[in-house]
Every structure is written in C-alpha cells, then in structure tokens.
C-alpha cells in the first residue's frame, strides 16, 4: 500500500511537537517547579525595556551595570550596578536565564517560556505617572503586552499545555507604585501633579481602583500566582534627603506617610482579590519594613552609608542627578545601600531578595517565594 508522504510528515511533526513540549515542561519541573517568571513594574525591576523607548528615563550608560556579570559589566538598562531583585529571585528559584525585556527583539518563541520582563523606568499604576520623562510603559500597557505574550505561548506549547504552564508553574511579580507618588502626586505644582486636584485619600482610592482592574485582567489571562511588593520608604531615598536638605538619619515625612497609607489599602486589596478570584494566590511583600530596617540599621548589614548614593551628582548625598558617565562613583559599591539617587545597590537587592525568598509572614505573607513556587504543584 502506498504511503501518504504528507501525512507521514505531519505525524512526525506532531510527535516532535509533543516531545518538545513535554521535555520543556519536564525541565521546568527539574527547576523545582518554576516555569516562567513574568515581571511587571518600574525602574526597580526594569531589565532594559526603556532602552527601546525615546525617554528621559534610561540607564543604558556607564557606570550602570558595572557589576552585572552576565553583560561583562556593560550597561543593560538596569537601574543599578548589578542585578535587580527580579534577577536574583529568578536565579534562586531555578530560572536558567534572566527574563528578557518584552521590547527586546529576542523576546519571542521558546525564549518566552523562561519569562518576560515588562517593567519600565518611570512607570506607574496611573497612566499619567511619569509623563515628565516623555515615554514609559505604564501598568495598563504592560498588561496589554502580556496579553500578546500569552497568545504567543499558546502558539509555542499549544493552548492546553500553555494554560497549565501559566496557571500552575509561573509566577507574576509586580513592583510598582513608587512613581505614582514621586513622579505624579508629589510633583511640584509646576508639573501639575495630581495633588493639585485630589486629596491623598482620593488619589490612593484611584490607585487601588486602577490596580484592582489591572490585576484582575492578569487573572483573566490565566495568571494565578502573584507576588505584589508594597511601596518602600520613598522619603528616605538620597534624592528626597538631598532636595530637602536633611541630616543623614532623617527621612521626609509626607512621602513615607503616603506610602504607608497606600500599603495598608494594598494589603486589603490583595485579601479581597484572593477571596474573589478562584484559584488565585496573592502574596503581599512587605518591602517597606525590610528596606526601612536596612536603612536604619545599615551598619549591621555591612554597609557604611544608607544616605549617600554610590553614583550620582549634586548635594551632600549625590542625590540630584541620576547615575551617568559624569557622575562621581564610590570606591566600594557593596558598602552603599543606594546605587543612585533612587535605586538600591545590588548588595541591598540581595538582602531584600533573600528575605522575600525565605522570610516569615511578617515580611511576606501568606507564604514566601520558595513556597509560592511550589504552591499547588502537588
């Protein structure tokens, strides 16, 4: 009997596709259950998306990335001297590679199965946040981008296996909110920040309302395991200390009060979503308390300063102009809590990442990140 050659080729292709899918999911299982790492947020976790935008918020110039081994010390668009928290957590949870920036031309095909980074410097929950930097990818657009990724993963794995991969084996981390205060509500009237028309309560109501919609959209796209970082003590960053001419042990009161008010509402929102979205797990990461502890007790963590930026220009704390080729650079980057006027050093990121990975419920609840990785896998 004559054999239908096209039928045979199709069957072989189908078998190979199944083998690829099962082998990749098997590799994920060998990585202690972690599938993809999907990272959303702002410059604290941006891995280079802003390199592809015409924006004033960029970190693609030296000495940024000077300690980033994967690039040989060359800048990648990360707003720190080495790895971000997202990079470190991915390593610890078994990721074979760093999640690529969504806007990178390499973020396609099988590369998506490791994860994708959607974070963008100057981004916020609100679309107006960060507009003084001209361009950035706000949280609404980041969710739109994930929708595109979601369809591409269907094409790579097939709809059924893609759904399982996303729902059971992938973690969605969101680090956003700081810019909604620093580069929106707290902007001087000259820049028409939201403070000119809204009370703090009304603005935070808006933040929570928008964030609820954004997280629910991710859930509708099959996200199930979430870790959401609260807003850190933004009144203690070198920029705030410099422009307000504070002593080294002082922080600006209003930004920290706003952060704490928002954080309380955020915790309630995550409890609400966990209850109302079946099968979801929303983990609340108490970044504020961890960072405040490091800032207050910096010497106990091995730092020599928590007020002076390692890389920057202007004022007592090098806190006016972000890190770039003309900036002063400290001698020992591991001795500084802050890399630049706004962002932690890799040494500080390592401390925070470790606490989120293995901390108790005072730091991260209802479970830490290692527990979240394995949650629901049986």
Residues 311, 206: one domain? yes
Residues 3, 136: one domain? no
Token output for 157: 């794995």
Mean pLDDT of 78-100: 97
Token output for 214: 């954004």
Range of the structural domain that residue 17 is part of: 1-30
Q: What is the pLDDT of residues 29-50, one digit of tens each?
A: 344 467 899 999 999 999 999 9
Residue 116 near residue 102, CB atoms below 8 Å? yes
Residues 22, 96: one domain? no
Q: Which of 67, 180, 222, 340 is catalytic?
A: 340
Rounded Cα distance between 70 and 98, Å, is 9
Under the banding of pLDDT at 50, 70 and 90, the label for residue 1 is very low
For the chain, the average pLDDT equals 91
Mean pLDDT of 4-29: 38
Q: What is the pLDDT of residues 345-375, one digit of tens each?
A: 999 999 999 999 999 999 999 999 999 999 9
Q: What is the torsion angle, in degrees rounded to the nearest 10, for the CA atoms of residue 198, residue 201, residue 203 and residue 205?
A: -140
| pLDDT top residue among 198 and 146 | 146
pLDDT value of residue 188: 80
Rounded Cα distance between 31 and 35, Å, is 8
pLDDT value of residue 182: 96
Token output for 339: 């890399």
Q: Which of 37, 42, 43, 280 is catalytic?
A: 43
Mean pLDDT of 100-126: 98
Residue 313 near residue 258, CB atoms below 8 Å? no
Rounded Cα distance between 37 and 15, Å, is 28
Rounded Cα distance between 122 and 135, Å, is 8
Q: Which of 46, 120, 178, 343 is catalytic?
A: 343
Q: Domain total for the chain?
A: 2
Residues 85, 168: one domain? yes
Under the banding of pLDDT at 50, 70 and 90, the label for residue 197 is confident
CATH number at residue 68: 3.40.50.1110
Told to judge if 340 belongs to the known catalytic residues of this protein, a careful annotator would answer: yes
Q: What is the pLDDT of residues 287-343, one digit of tens each?
A: 999 999 999 999 999 999 999 999 999 999 999 999 999 999 999 999 999 999 999
| pLDDT top residue among 172 and 193 | 172
pLDDT value of residue 38: 98
Residue 23 near residue 10, CB atoms below 8 Å? no
Residues 1, 137: one domain? no
Q: What is the pLDDT of residues 204-225, one digit of tens each?
A: 999 999 999 999 999 999 999 9
Q: What is the torsion angle, in degrees rounded to the nearest 10, for the CA atoms of residue 75, residue 120, residue 183 and residue 297?
A: -60
Provide, rounded to the nearest whole percent, the portion of the chain with pLDDT above 70: 89
Query: Going by C-beta distance under 8 Å and a sequence separation of 6 or more, which residues neighbour residue 230?
Result: 177, 259, 262, 263, 266, 267, 284, 285, 286, 287, 288
Quick check: 234 pLDDT over 90? Answer: yes
Residue 255 near residue 234, CB atoms below 8 Å? yes
Residues 19, 95: one domain? no
For residue 229, the cross-strand partners are 175, 285
**pTM assigned to the model:** 0.91
Token output for 178: 């700081």
Quick check: 10 pLDDT over 70? Answer: no
Residues 17, 49: one domain? no
Q: What is the torsion angle, in degrees rounded to the nearest 10, for the CA atoms of residue 34, residue 103, residue 234 and residue 215?
A: -60
Under the banding of pLDDT at 50, 70 and 90, the label for residue 252 is very high
Which phi-psi region, left, alpha or beta, contains residue 142 (left: φ > 0; alpha: ψ -120 to 50)? alpha
Residues 4, 46: one domain? no
Told to judge if 199 belongs to the known catalytic residues of this protein, a careful annotator would answer: no
Residues 126, 236: one domain? yes
Rounded Cα distance between 161 and 351, Å, is 36
Rounded Cα distance between 205 and 201, Å, is 6
Q: Tell me how crowded residue 15 is: count the other CB atoms within 10 A of its CB.
A: 10
Beta strands in the chain (DSSP E): 37-41, 100-101, 115-117, 171-175, 225-229, 281-285, 311-312, 328-329, 364-365
Rounded Cα distance between 91 and 290, Å, is 21
Q: What is the pLDDT of residues 258-296, one digit of tens each?
A: 999 999 999 999 999 999 999 999 999 999 999 999 999
Residues 21, 166: one domain? no
Phi and psi, residue 131, nearest 5°: -65, -20
Q: What is the pLDDT of residues 67-77, one digit of tens each?
A: 999 999 999 99
Residues 236, 179: one domain? yes
Told to judge if 328 belongs to the known catalytic residues of this protein, a careful annotator would answer: no
| pLDDT top residue among 3 and 241 | 241
Give the CA diameter of the chain: 90
Residues 11, 121: one domain? no
pLDDT value of residue 34: 75
Rounded Cα distance between 272 and 311, Å, is 41
Q: Tell me how crowded residue 134 is: count the other CB atoms within 10 A of its CB.
A: 12
| 170: three-class secondary structure by DSSP | coil
pLDDT value of residue 127: 97
């Amino acid at each position: 009997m004559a054999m239908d050659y096209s039928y045979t080729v199709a069957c072989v292709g189908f078998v190979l596709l199944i083998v690829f899918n099962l082998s990749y999911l098997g590799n994920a299982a060998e990585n202690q259950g972690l599938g993809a790492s999907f990272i959303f947020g702002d410059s604290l976790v941006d891995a280079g998306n802003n390199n592809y935008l015409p924006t004033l918020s960029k970190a693609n110039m030296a000495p940024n990335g000077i300690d980033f081994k994967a690039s040989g010390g060359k800048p990648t668009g990360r707003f720190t001297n080495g790895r971000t928290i997202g990079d470190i957590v991915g390593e610890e949870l078994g990721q074979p590679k760093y999640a690529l920036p969504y806007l990178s031309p390499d973020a396609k095909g099988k590369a998506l199965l490791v994860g994708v980074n959607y974070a963008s410097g100057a981004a916020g929950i609100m679309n107006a946040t960060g507009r003084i930097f001209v361009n950035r990818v706000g949280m609404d657009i980041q969710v739109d981008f994930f929708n595109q990724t979601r369809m591409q993963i269907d094409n790579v794995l097939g709809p059924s296996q893609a759904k399982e991969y996303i729902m059971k084996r992938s973690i969605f981390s969101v680090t956003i909110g700081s810019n909604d205060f620093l580069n929106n509500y707290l902007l001087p009237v000259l820049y028409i920040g939201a403070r000119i028309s809204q009370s703090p309560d009304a603005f935070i109501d808006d933040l929570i309302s928008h964030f609820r919609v954004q997280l629910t959209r991710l859930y509708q796209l099959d996200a199930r395991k979430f870790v959401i970082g609260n807003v850190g003590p933004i009144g203690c960053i070198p920029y705030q200390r410099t422009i307000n001419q504070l002593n080294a042990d002082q922080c600006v009161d209003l930004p920290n009060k706003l952060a704490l008010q928002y954080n309380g509402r955020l915790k309630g929102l995550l409890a609400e979503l966990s209850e109302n979205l079946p099968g979801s797990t929303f983990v609340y990461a108490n970044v504020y308390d961890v960072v405040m502890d490091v800032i207050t007790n910096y010497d106990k963590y091995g730092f020599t300063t928590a007020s002076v930026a390692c890389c920057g220009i202007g004022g007592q704390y090098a806190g006016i102009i972000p890190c770039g080729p003309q900036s002063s650079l400290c001698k020992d980057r591991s001795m500084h809590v802050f890399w630049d006027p706004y962002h932690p050093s890799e040494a500080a990121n390592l401390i925070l990442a470790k606490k989120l990975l293995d901390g108790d419920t005072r730091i991260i609840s209802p479970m830490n990140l290692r527990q979240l990785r394995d949650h629901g896998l049986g």
